[in-house]
Structure 1
Amino acid sequence: MATATKRSDTLMVSEVLAFVQNKLDTMDVISLEQICLTSFKEAELAAAKKLLADTATTAVRLVPRRGDGSMKRDLQDIIRVFQETDPDDIPTYVARDLYKLPPVTFDHVDVTRLLKDIVLLRAEIDEIRGKLEASERASASMQRELSTMRNADAAVAASPPPAREVQAQRVPVTASIATDTVSRRVNDPPPATYAERTRDAACPLRAAAPAPPRPAAAAPSTTRSQQEAAPAPPRPRPRPRRRRRAAPQAAPQVTLAAAGALAAPPRAPRNAAVDKDGFILVEKRSPRRRNRNKRGTAPAACSLKAATPTVDIYVSRIHANMAHDNIMRYVKERSVGRTEQPVQVLAIERLQSAKQTDFKSFRLRVPADQQKVLLDKDFWPAGIVFRRYREAKQTIKSPVTSARV
């Protein structure tokens, strides 16, 4: 399928329009009007305005001006067209006689505007310079803090082991520790938490100080054999829950680490049920959903029928001469063979734009199961814009142009 050529690819000869089209982006309107009024004749401006009206697609009305000041008003209409019209809808104007193009000298330049632009540019440069200096200061401060932290870590690594760790190295490792697991688990104080171990490692003075004695747990009144013989109370059956690997509850053994400290086993969460494989059952509560919608499954009755789900499709960039019947006939004929039955347009509505345009826009309401056909690029001609319709504040609906099938 050949792509549509733009109107801007067309070249037209007009010295007046070529000068205005090229200088409008670099000059202010007042200076441009002054140069054109002093360099071109009234007949040349009128001919240029007529050529622009015949070749450009614009919403600006180019009516002939008469009376005093008509030459200036014609030039203002030409400038307005270039300012308010899409550049793709205006041809590219060129000059055949280059001597007709007026020169731009300092007499036609507003020096005050240039000075204001220089002042604004200087202020922006000063602002960028200030932000750069603040960023450099922040970067230097972060580097100093990073070097301080590295020095502190090096000092902690080079410091001697704490006193309680040295004493732990002298404890003899015997075989009786492994056999006395139950008594040690009951009488020994609970191991230090992760926060306490991190705090002691970060502060050597606190780690070197002897830890205060913790109260020992009370010995159980029953023996181990009595505890094993007593039946365990029945536990409620848990609901299906996610399983997470638990830390093994190994017997506390005295081991010599690289620094000579006792390695504390990790602690399992409180009130955690551990199964025989060593997994912790973690329950994930599902959010409660109330008032759920339900759909009926009974056969369709004659007295009651469900409504067909529908969607709205936005179609734009349609030629101004096209009407509702043209669109509905195109959709019906184009959809033959794409679905089991042709697409049925339930409603069509003309959309009014807040700005004046040379094309039309419509909203089509079709069944939801047939929307894929209308949202296919191969379904619409080149240049047509389409998508799912969404409400916009700028859209003005016209109740008169609505038609239902």
Structure 2
Amino acid sequence: MDTTPNDIIVKVCCETYTEEDIETSKKLVHGLCSPPDRYKKRRGADRCSSNMLDILEVLHSTPPTEVPMFASVKLHLPAVDLTNFDVSLCLQEVRMVRQEMAVIREASQDNFRLRSEFTKAMEDNARSVENMESELASLRAEVQQLRDIKFDHMKDVPISQECRSYATVLSQDKSAPPPTPRLTGKQRQLTVAPTTTLASSPARPSVTDGNSGFTQVRRRRRGKAIVGRASNKGSLVVAKPRPVEVFVSRLSVETSAESLTQFLHDNEMELVDCEKLVTRFGSYASFKLVIGKADSEKILSPDFWPSGILVRKFYQRSAPRDH
């Protein structure tokens, strides 16, 4: 009664029992349960279904401990066919069983695959160990052969030849040439063989070392240069001095090459070129200036520039060397 729907109970009872049996059962339930509502006598064509609904309503409203219990003398069990069978519940259970079987099948396939992979890995490891053992045995045999060859060779060498030193050889053979002395790096640069003659170079003063037998060549010093100071005479024109390259940084990001050029012109500076450089960070601006030689001291003076600006000579980065 608690799990079966009311319409199914009503249909089964109306098809199984007569209207008089249902009416009698209704009176009996009302007399035993004493519901608050009065007894209603149903009329019409569907009074059998209405009486069954009244019976079910009284039984549901009665506390479980006060529901009367009946024993049938002549039990007439209704025939239960597929129309009154809960097929959805059975299908749900069958679906759950199928899902569990699929999970079990996948787990068994994974276990079989893992077992086969593990077996293959063990076989590969066993073959690798066998190969390493065979290689180790061959290496041991080669080392033993080398030891035997060395031992045999040491047997053939006389002890007198094996233990002779250079002093012993000199004492036995006095006609042997003296050993060549070792020279330092500076001596190698300043010494040449006594028989070497350079035809294209002028003669240089030399000093002969009687102990080693080599001739030491001294470098000739250049004469001291002078710079003219007289006024310009005739048609000689002095070359212009090389301009100075200056690096200026820590300027505002909005600073342009035109504004910096205007600043230099306003301060009577001879500007050759002004180039804006690519900075590592975008918080400041840097420039490369090319200034005349006469203004080099002025432009590198701290009093010429506003406070906080960094100025120094420009150094070109060297190209990376090829290794």
Q: TM-score, normalised by structure 2?
A: 0.30
The structure that is helix-richer by fraction is 2
| Structure (1 or 2) with the larger CA radius of gyration | 2
